[in-house]
Structure 1
Amino acid sequence: MSRELYIGLMSGTSADGLDAALIAFDEDHFELLDCIERPLPTHTKQYVTELALSGEHEIQKMAELDIQLAECFASACQELLQRQQLEPKDITAIGSHGQTIRHIPQSEAQTGYTLQIGDPSRIAEITGITTIADFRRRDIAAGGQGAPLAPAFHQAAFQSLKQARFVANVGGMANITYVPAKGCGEVIGFDTGPGNALMDGWILQHRQEAYDKNGLWAESGTVNKDLLTNLLSHPFLSLPAPKSTGREAFNLPWLEQQLTNITASPKDVQASLLTFTAQSIADQVLALHQASKGEKGELYLCGGGAHNQALVKRLASLLPNFHINSTAKLGVHPDWVEAMTFAWLARQCMHRLPGNLPSVTGARDERILGAIYPA
C-alpha cells in the first residue's frame, strides 16, 4: 500500500479553537507531518455556546455558523498545504469532525441524535480536497451512542503486545479508553463526565480568562465538600457504559443549581470543579482496572487537560498505583490525538473499513463511518 496523506480537523466541546493535523499513513504506520492550532473568532465561539444551550434564532445562527466554521476549517487546511508545499491532489481526503452543537445519547426514554456542523461541501469546494464528515450518525443509526469515537484510534495507535493501558482524553468533556494487551479482550471506552468545560466556563465568568493555566487558580482554593457531593451525584456518573455526554448535561446553569444554599468563594468552586473532573475519571479507571485484575496501571493523558499540572497531580493522588504520563510518552503529542483520530477515521472510510467499536459505543455491529463529499 502506497503512502497516503490525510488531514484531520477537530473542534471540541470547549470551542476554544480548531486543530488541523497532516498525517502520513503507510501500511499500519502513521506519522504526524505538521499541525496547526487556530483560535475560533470570538463571535463564532459565542454562537457555538449559545447553540449548545439553546436560545433564539437557532436555525439562522446554525446556518451562519455552519459556513463560518467551514471557512475556518478550509483556511487551516490551505495553510498546511502551503507550509508543506503540497497541492490539493496530494491529499487523499480531509476528515472533519465538525463542531458539536447537540449530542443527545440514545436511551430507553428517547431516540438518540447528534449534530456537528462546519459544512463539508464548502470545505471540499474551497480546498479542492475530498472531505469526509458526519462520522457519528451512522453509529447512532446502528443503535450506538455515536461517541466516543477516539477509542478506536487509541487501539490502533497505543495498543501494546504485553501491557494493558488506559487513555484519558480530557477535552471539554472527558472520556477514557481501556486498551487491553493485544489479544487479551475488548477495548472499553466511554465518557466519564466533564473535562475542562466547567472549569473553563467558571474562570471565564469570574476572571475573564479562557482557562486556568496549570490549574493555579484551582490550587489556590479549597474543595467545598458539599458542592463536590452535589456534583458527584449527577445521574450520568452512575449510568452503565456505553455512555456519552456533553454540554447539554454539564454546563454553568447546572453548576449554579448545585451551588444553591452553598456558600463558596469562586476559587473554592474552581478547586471543587477540578477535583470533580479528576474524581469522575479516577473512579472509572479504578473500576475497570480492578475488573481487569491488573496490578500497576498505566494511564496516558491527552487533550488540553494533559497540560493542567494541578489536575495531573490530583489524578496521581487518586490513582497511586498508576504510572501517569501524557501520550507523548507513546509517541503522539497530547494536543493532536483528536485531530489525528479524524484523519484516521477518514482513511478507514476511504478504505471501506469500520471506524467504530461496538464494545465502546453499543452499536449493533461495526460500521463504516462518515459521508464522502468528493473534491
Structure 2
Amino acid sequence: MSGTSMDGVDGVLVDISPASGGASSLRLVQRAFASVDLPQALRDELLALNSPGDNELHRAALAANALMQVYAQCVQQLCAQAGLAPADVAVIGAHGQTVRHRPGLFDGMGYTTQLVNGALLAELSGIAVACDFRSRDVAAGGQGAPLVPVFHQALWQSGAGFQCGSGTMAVLNLGGIANLSLLQPGRTPVGFDCGPANALLDGWCQLHTGQPYDADGRWAAQGQLQAALLQQLMAEPYIQQPPPKSTGRDLFNMEWLQQQLAAHPGMAPVDVQATLTAYTVQAAAHHLRTSAPDARRLLVCGGGVRNGEIMRQLAQALPGVIVESTLAHGMDPQAVEATAFAWLASKTWLREPIDMTAVTGARGPRVLGCLYPA
C-alpha cells in the first residue's frame, strides 16, 4: 500500500482463511510487516502527477514502473522475514499510487487512476498480482473509495480474534485523507472519506519547517487555533455533502489551502498548522456525530495515529467515545490498510464479489480488481 500521504510503501504478509463466524468472517495471521521509503525523486514526481502537467502519460508510465521496483523491494523483505519463497505466496495485492480520483464527474461516470503496473510486479516478484481494485466499483456507479469498511467489519466484528465488544463502533484511518468506517452489528458497514488529514498537515509543515511531517503534532501544539479560519474550512461543501462520497488531493491540496488562507493574510504558519490539525479532528468528529451518533468506540489507524495532538483532540471532541489506536485490538495501525488490500487480493484471487453498495453506492456486489498470473 502506498497511500495519499506518499511517505512510503507499507507491506504485510498474511495468512487469510475463513473463520467459523459465517461468510463475512475471517481468520487472519500476520507473518511479516515491512515499510520502504519512497525515493525523494519518485515522491516528488508522484506529487507532481496529481496536477495537470507536461507529457503526463509518459511520466506516469515511468513513475508506475519505478513504484513497482519499490513494491518489489517490499515483497522481498516480507518473504525474507517470513522465510518464504515466492512460490509459497498465492497473490500480492498492489494498490498503486492514486494520482487522480474523480468518480461520477465529467461524463456521469468519471474515473479513478492509480499508478500501478501489475504485469511488471509479477515479473519482478514471481508472484501473481491483483491490482486496479477501484475501477470496477466506479464502473458500477460507485465512488471507488473507501474500500476498507467491509474488511474492518470482518476483522473487528466477525470472531477473528480482534473483537471490540458489542454496539456501534467506528474506525478512522488517518492517511493523506481521513476516512471513516461505521460498523453496526448485524448491518452492512458504511464508510466514506471525511476530509483531509496528513496531505495538508505534511505539506504545510514541509513548506514552513523543512520537515516532512509534524512529529507527534508538537509544532501544531505551539500554535493558536484560529476560529474564523476553522469555521471557513468546515464550510467546505464536501464536508457538508452526504455520503456516499470520496475525495483526495484533487480537492484537498496546497492550492486549495492557499485559496482558503487568502482571506486571512499575515497568519502565523504555526497557527495555520494548529488550525489544520483541529480541522482534521473536527471534520472527523462532525461526520461521526451525524452519521453514527450511537458509536461509543473509535479505533484510529494510519500514520496520523502517531500524532499525539490529533489523538488528544479527538478524545476531547468526542466525549463518551473511547478513542484508541487499533494496536489496542491486535492490529498495528500502520499495517491496517495494507492488510485490507491483502484481504481484497484474496477476494480477487477467489473471484468472490464484495458488496460495497452501502459504502460507495455501487449498484451491487462486484469482484474487484484484475489479476496478473505469476
**TM-score normalised according to structure 2 size:** 0.94
Partners of 1:179 and 1:341 in 2: how far apart? Answer: 16
Q: Identity, % of aligned pairs?
A: 41
The match for 1:223 is: 225
Which of 242, 245, 253 is the equivalent residue of 1:243?
A: 245
Give how far 1:54 is off.
2.1
> 1:149, 1:356 within 8 Å by CA — same for their partners in 2?
no
Amino acid at match of 2:282: Q
The match for 2:178 is: 174
**TM-score normalised according to structure 1 size:** 0.93
Give how far 1:83 is off.
2.4
The match for 2:54 is: 56
Give how far 1:232 is off.
1.1
Partners of 2:98 and 2:347 in 1: how far apart? Answer: 21
The match for 2:145 is: 147
> 1:139, 1:356 within 8 Å by CA — same for their partners in 2?
no
The match for 2:211 is: 209
- Alignment deviations for residues 122-146 of structure 1 (CA, whole Å, 9 cap, x no partner): 0000111000000000001111000
The match for 1:117 is: 115
The match for 2:38 is: 40
Instruction: Give the direction of change, closer, same or farther, for the CA distance of 1:109–1:317 in structure 2 (3 Å limit).
Output: farther
Give how far 1:84 is off.
2.0
Amino acid at match of 2:61: A
SS of structure 1 residue aligned to 2:297: strand
Give how far 1:365 is off.
0.2
> 1:151, 1:177 within 8 Å by CA — same for their partners in 2?
yes
Q: Does 1:355 align with 2:354?
A: yes
Give how far 1:211 is off.
0.6
SS of structure 1 residue aligned to 2:251: coil
Instruction: Give the direction of change, closer, same or farther, for the CA distance of 1:108–1:82 in structure 2 (3 Å limit).
Output: closer
SS of structure 1 residue aligned to 2:334: helix
- Alignment deviations for residues 241-297 of structure 1 (CA, whole Å, 9 cap, x no partner): 00000001001111111111313100000000000000000001111232xxx2x71
Give how far 1:175 is off.
0.4
Give how far 1:109 is off.
7.2
> 2:109, 2:139 within 8 Å by CA — same for their partners in 1?
no
Which of 265, 270, 286 is the equivalent residue of 2:268?
A: 265
Partners of 1:108 and 1:360 in 2: how far apart? Answer: 22
The match for 1:17 is: 8
Partners of 1:26 and 1:242 in 2: how far apart? Answer: 30
Partners of 1:107 and 1:53 in 2: how far apart? Answer: 17
Partners of 2:326 and 2:149 in 1: how far apart? Answer: 13
Amino acid at match of 2:90: T
Partners of 1:319 and 1:370 in 2: how far apart? Answer: 36
Amino acid at match of 2:365: E
Amino acid at match of 1:211: Y
The match for 1:7 is: none
Partners of 1:233 and 1:363 in 2: how far apart? Answer: 28
Which of 280, 283, 287 is the equivalent residue of 1:280?
A: 283
The match for 2:160 is: none
Partners of 1:215 and 1:53 in 2: how far apart? Answer: 28
Partners of 1:71 and 1:108 in 2: how far apart? Answer: 33
Q: Does 1:26 align with 2:17?
A: yes
Q: Does 1:165 align with 2:169?
A: yes
Partners of 2:226 and 2:259 in 1: how far apart? Answer: 15
Listed as ranges, the gaps of 5+ residues in structure 2 are 19-25, 158-162
Give how far 1:108 is off.
8.5
Partners of 1:87 and 1:335 in 2: how far apart? Answer: 25
Partners of 1:60 and 1:266 in 2: how far apart? Answer: 37
The alignment of Structure 1 onto Structure 2 pairs a total of residues equal to: 360
The match for 2:313 is: 314
The match for 1:5 is: none
Partners of 1:194 and 1:153 in 2: how far apart? Answer: 22
- Alignment deviations for residues 205-242 of structure 1 (CA, whole Å, 9 cap, x no partner): 01110110110000100011221122111111111100
Amino acid at match of 1:210: P
The match for 1:102 is: 100
SS of structure 2 residue aligned to 1:35: strand
> 1:105, 1:243 within 8 Å by CA — same for their partners in 2?
no
Partners of 2:107 and 2:351 in 1: how far apart? Answer: 33
Partners of 1:58 and 1:107 in 2: how far apart? Answer: 20
The match for 2:199 is: 197
SS of structure 2 residue aligned to 1:52: coil
Listed as ranges, the gaps of 5+ residues in structure 1 are 1-9
What's the Cα RMSD here?
1.3
Partners of 1:174 and 1:355 in 2: how far apart? Answer: 22
Give how far 1:356 is off.
4.6
Amino acid at match of 1:25: I
SS of structure 2 residue aligned to 1:21: strand
